[in-house]
């Protein structure tokens, strides 16, 4: 054998690879493979679809629009852009226990957080607590980079500037008395955002880090005073700030405001009347947006969404139907031949 090879040095190797004879699965997509496959997938999808639909049906959602464009809306007065520090109160009732843990979202519609020039207008360096970026913010932050006095804005950029600083207070009306529902503002942001991506400068007290910088134009208070009640919840690791900075994918979105997990409400919101006190401070009429609050509980598949369940059912059924069709076609085309 070896000798033979020496005799013909040009002879190609006779291997399965070089001779293109590798054992191959030829996916001749004939009925034999496809029909059982379709049936299996179809059945699996129908199963998943049913599970999703049931899960989704069990999720309770309460959506309250408080834009106030309508005359009868309690926030009608506040919707006037000239109004300052307007507070309006929204009354609503829950008929049955709203199972906990309840997630309290605020929602905005027609708000384009994914607008490209808006989205890039931020400085991750600043937000990471890097002091060098405090002096010279990222140039994409324009026009929210320096204030009129040429002081660098911290945090710079449009995203931070437009933060919707909401203050909601939820009361259960028990026997005519307002009983405040405790709202849990901890851990509403992503763990990675809070611990890795955003950091305060390692300067104590925190405000010193912000010397000779300006607060964003729209902000009532500088970053280090975002949450007067909790000194640890200030600067760039303020939970509300973090939630806002994670830009929404779509123009109609909601963002987590609080969770209701404490005290009497750990199991959910009991049936009854509630009033929501809203510090109305974010005009949306300029872009014909809507504002709302959303109460929802979540399941393993996230929030309420009937689409997935229905889609699974439809596709699953289609698969089964198709497999039947193919069986017919197959029978028609395959068997007469063999007769």
Partner 1 sequence: MERHEWMRRQCRKLFARERDRGAVPTQSSEDSHIPPLKLKAKRTISVGHWPHQEEYRDVAQSYKGNIIHTTKYSLLTFIPMNLFQQFHRAANLYFLFLILLNWVPVVEAFQKEITMIPLLVVLTVIAVKDALEDYRRYLSDKKINNRIVQVYCGKQNAYIGKRWKDVQVGDFIRLSCNDVIPADILLLYSSDPHGICYIETANLDGETNLKQRQMVSGLPLQGVEFNPASFYIRIECENPNNDLGTFRGFIEHYSGARAGLDNKNLLLRSCTIRKTETVVGIVVYAGTKYALLLCDLGHETKAMMNNSGPRYKCSHLEKDLNNEILWCVLLLVMMCLITAIGHGFWLKQFKHAVFLVDEDMPPALAGFYVFWTMIIVLQVMIPISLYVSIEIVKLGQIYFIQNDLDLYNEHADCRIQCRALNITENLGQIRYLFSDKTGTLTENNMVFRRCSIYGIEYPHVENGCRLEMYEAKENEAAGCSVTVKSACRDKSLSCRSLSCNRSSLSLHTLAAESEEDGQLSNDFLPLTSAFCSRMAKEVIPDPDLVNKLSRLCAPMLLSGDVTFETTSSLELNYITDFFLALAICNTVMVSSPMQPQHLAQPQTLSKSLDGIKLIFQRFSLPLFSALSAHSPTRSRGSHGKTDDIFHSRNSYSNGPSDNEEDMRIEGGAENDTDNELMYEAVSPDEAALVHAAKAYRCTLRGRSADSVLVDLPGIGAMIVRLLHILPFDSNRKRMSVVVRHPLTGQVVVLTKGADSAIMNLLETPKGGEQAQETDSHIREQTQKHVDNYAREGLRTLCIARKVLEQEEYEVWLKGQLLAESNIDNREELLNVSAEKLETNLTLLGTTGILDRLQEDVPETIESLQRAGIKVWVLTGDKQETAVNIAYACKLIHPSDQILTVNCQSKDDCAALLEDLKLEVQCSEERISQKKTAEDHGGLSSGRKVSFILVIDGRTLNWTLEDASNCFLELSHSCKAVICCRSTPLQKSQVVRLIRDQLKVMTLAVGDGANDVSMIQVADVGIGIYGQEGMQAVMSSDFAISRFKHLCRLLLVHGHWCFSRLANMMLYFIYKNVMYVNLLFWYQFFCGFSGSVMTNSWVLILFNLFFTSVPPLIYGILDKDIPAEQLMRVSELYQAVHASEAPPPFVFWFTVLDAFYQSLVCFFVPYFAYVGSDIGELAFGSPINASALLIILLHQVIESHTLTWIHVFVLVVSAGSYFVFVLLFSVCCLTCSPHSNPVGVEMLQMSQPLFYIVCALTTVTAVMPRLLFRALHNTMHLSALMQTALREVE
Find the binding residues for partner 1 in span 65-84 (CB under 8 A). none
From 121, 172, 261, 297, residue interacting with partner 1 (rule: CB under 8 A): 121
- The Cα 157–Cα 161 span in angstroms is 6
Tokens, residue 132:
């060098």
SS3 (DSSP) at 247: coil
Tokens, residue 170:
């939820």
From 74, 100, 125, 272, residue interacting with partner 1 (rule: CB under 8 A): 125
Question: Residue 267 or residue 299: which is nearer to partner 1 going by CB?
Answer: 299
Distance of CA 261 to CAs 2, 185, 235, 267, Å? 79, 10, 25, 7
Tokens, residue 137:
């913010």
CB contact at 8 A, 68 and 76: yes
Nearest distance from residue 23's CB to partner 1, in Å? Answer: 7
Distance of CA 139 to CAs 120, 122, 198, 303, Å? 10, 9, 19, 38
Q: Which of residues 220-239 bind partner 1 (CB under 8 A)?
A: none
Phi first, then psi, for residue 179 (nearest 5°) are -115, 115
> Taking CB under 8 A as the rule, does residue 162 contact partner 1?
yes
Nearest distance from residue 321's CB to partner 1, in Å? Answer: 11
Nearest distance from residue 177's CB to partner 1, in Å? Answer: 33
Handedness of CA 111, 113, 117, 118 (dihedral sign): positive
From 68, 193, 234, 239, residue interacting with partner 1 (rule: CB under 8 A): 193
From 54, 97, 174, 196, residue interacting with partner 1 (rule: CB under 8 A): 196
Phi first, then psi, for residue 46 (nearest 5°) are -60, -40
180 beta partners: 171
Name the one range near partner 1 by CB under 8 A: 118-126, 165-173, 209-217, 268-276: 118-126
Q: Which of residues 247-266 bind partner 1 (CB under 8 A)?
A: 247-256
Look at the block and give the residue holding tokens 């909790």: 230
Name the one range near partner 1 by CB under 8 A: 67-75, 84-92, 168-176, 192-200: 192-200
CA geometry: angle at 57 spanning 56 and 58, to 5°? 90
Question: Residue 46 or residue 172: which is nearer to partner 1 going by CB?
Answer: 46
Question: Residue 138 or residue 171: which is nearer to partner 1 going by CB?
Answer: 138
| Binding-residue total with partner 1 (CB under 8 A) | 91
Question: Residue 72 or residue 286: which is nearer to partner 1 going by CB?
Answer: 286
Nearest distance from residue 173's CB to partner 1, in Å? Answer: 28
Whether a cis peptide bond, with omega within 30° of 0, leads into 205 is yes
Q: Which of residues 262-321 bind partner 1 (CB under 8 A)?
A: 282-283, 286-288, 300-303, 305, 307-308, 311-312, 315, 318-319
- The Cα 152–Cα 134 span in angstroms is 7
Q: Which of residues 14-53 bind partner 1 (CB under 8 A)?
A: 14, 18-20, 22-31, 34, 41, 45, 48, 52
Nearest distance from residue 176's CB to partner 1, in Å? Answer: 35
CA geometry: angle at 223 spanning 222 and 224, to 5°? 95
From 1, 2, 3, 7, residue interacting with partner 1 (rule: CB under 8 A): 7
């Amino acid at each position: 054998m070896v000798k033979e090879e020496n005799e013909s040095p040009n002879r190609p190797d006779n291997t399965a690879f070089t001779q293109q004879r590798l054992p191959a699965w030829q996916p001749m997509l004939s009925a034999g493979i496809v029909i059982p496959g379709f049936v299996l997938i179809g059945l699996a999808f129908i199963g998943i679809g049913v599970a999703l639909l049931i899960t989704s049906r069990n999720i309770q959602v309460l959506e309250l629009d408080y834009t106030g464009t309508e005359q009868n809306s309690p926030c009608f007065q506040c919707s006037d852009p000239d109004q300052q520090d307007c507070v309006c109160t929204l009354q609503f009732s829950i008929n049955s226990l709203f199972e906990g843990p309840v997630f309290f979202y605020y929602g905005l519609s027609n708000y384009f957080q994914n607008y490209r020039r808006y989205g890039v207008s931020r400085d991750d360096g600043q937000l990471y607590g890097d002091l060098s970026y405090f002096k010279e913010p990222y140039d994409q932050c324009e026009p929210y980079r320096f204030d009129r006095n040429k002081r660098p804005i911290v945090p710079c950029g449009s995203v931070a500037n437009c933060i919707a600083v909401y203050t909601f207070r939820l009361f259960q009306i028990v026997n005519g008395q307002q009983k405040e529902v405790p709202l849990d503002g901890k851990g509403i942001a992503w763990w990675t955002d809070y611990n890795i991506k955003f950091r305060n400068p390692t300067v104590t007290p925190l405000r010193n880090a912000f010397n000779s910088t300006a607060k964003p134009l729209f902000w009532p208070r500088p970053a280090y005073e975002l949450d007067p009640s909790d000194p640890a919840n200030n600067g760039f690791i303020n939970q509300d700030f973090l939630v806002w900075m994670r830009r929404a994918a779509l123009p109609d979105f909601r963002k987590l405001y609080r969770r209701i997990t404490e005290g009497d409400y750990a199991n959910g919101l009991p049936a009854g009347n509630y009033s929501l006190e809203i510090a109305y401070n974010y005009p949306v009429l300029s872009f014909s947006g809507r504002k709302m609050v959303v109460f929802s509980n979540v399941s393993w598949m996230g929030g309420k969404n009937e689409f997935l369940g229905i889609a699974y059912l439809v596709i699953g059924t289609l698969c089964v139907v198709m497999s039947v069709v193919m069986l017919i076609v197959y029978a028609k085309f395959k068997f007469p031949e063999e007769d």
